[in-house]
């Protein structure tokens, strides 16, 4: 009987030993995961600033075709490479003094008052929507203001208006040459009088490389 109990215990121990080796493997091992460090992106390269445009200067304005042709010849003889540029410009053409009125009847009264004051060159503007009375056209602003003052003493609202007209003018652009270079006296030596001319930077429509822009 004792022998049977011993054999049963021995068999139980063998079964437990086998089961523990087959099922119980202990705690799982931790495996380190290799990670790639996060790095910041390098800043984008800043493109270099574009070089400044080459200089370009303009001489003008010349108000007649003959004057422009003569200047172009003198510039060419002096060795200046130029490009001609034609423009439309508003040219001053004196000063107009007038009095506006509310009606034709008021226009007649204004004209009579002005002529009675000794201003003989006044006249009523025919078919004018403002029923204006012209009181003179002057080449100098001071003289126009003096006439307006005389009319205003009659308790009339005299207006001085600058008159302009559109005129063709001519410029010569000199690509690659700065204004200071043109102003150093060589233009005068070439026979160009700068009394009525200006030296300016070329407008944006001119290509400093040598061709007029669109």
Average pLDDT over residues 58-76: 91
Q: Which domain holds residue 208?
A: 56-89+166-212
Instruction: Assess whether 199 and 171 both reside in one domain.
Output: yes
Q: 75 vs 11, which has greater pLDDT?
A: 75
Q: Mean pLDDT across the chain, nearest whole number?
A: 81
Residues 6+ apart with CB under 8 A from 71: 59, 62, 172, 192
Q: Give how many domains the chain has, as a whole number.
A: 2
Tokens representing residue 84 in the block: 């001609």
Comparing 4-8, 37-41, 111-115, the range with the smallest average pLDDT is 4-8
Q: How far apart are CA 129 and CA 136, in angstroms?
A: 19
CATH of the domain at 153: 3.30.70.1070
Could you tell me if 105 and 142 lie in one domain?
A: yes
* Sign of the alpha-carbon torsion through 187, 191, 194, 197: negative
pLDDT given at position 214: 39
Q: For residue range 87-97, what is the model confidence (pLDDT) as tens digits?
A: 888 888 899 99
- Residues in the chain, total: 214
Which residue is it, tokens 């004057």?
67
Question: Does residue 51 lie in a domain region?
Answer: no
Domain end among 126, 147, 164: 164
Same domain for 103 and 146? Answer: yes
Same domain, 187 and 139: no
């Amino acid at each position: 009987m004792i022998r049977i109990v011993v054999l049963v215990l021995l068999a139980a121990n063998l079964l437990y030993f086998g089961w523990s080796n087959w099922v119980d493997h202990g705690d799982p091992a931790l495996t380190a995961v290799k990670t790639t460090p996060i790095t910041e992106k390098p800043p984008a390269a800043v493109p270099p600033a574009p070089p400044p445009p080459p200089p370009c200067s303009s001489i003008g304005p010349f108000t007649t075709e003959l004057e422009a042709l003569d200047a172009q010849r003198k510039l060419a003889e002096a060795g200046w490479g130029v490009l001609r540029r034609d423009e439309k410009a508003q040219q001053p053409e004196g000063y107009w003094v007038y009095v506006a009125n509310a009606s034709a009847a008021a226009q007649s009264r204004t004209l009579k008052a002005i002529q009675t004051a000794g201003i003989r060159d006044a006249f009523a503007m025919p078919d004018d929507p403002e029923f204006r009375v012209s009181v003179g056209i002057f080449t100098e602003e001071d003289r126009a203001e003096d006439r307006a003052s005389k009319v205003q003493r009659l308790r009339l609202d005299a207006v001085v208006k600058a008159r302009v007209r559109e005129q063709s003018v001519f410029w010569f652009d000199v690509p690659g040459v700065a204004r200071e270079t043109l102003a150093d006296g060589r233009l005068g030596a070439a026979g160009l009088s700068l009394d009525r001319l200006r030296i300016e930077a070329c407008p944006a429509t001119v290509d400093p490389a040598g061709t007029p822009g669109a």
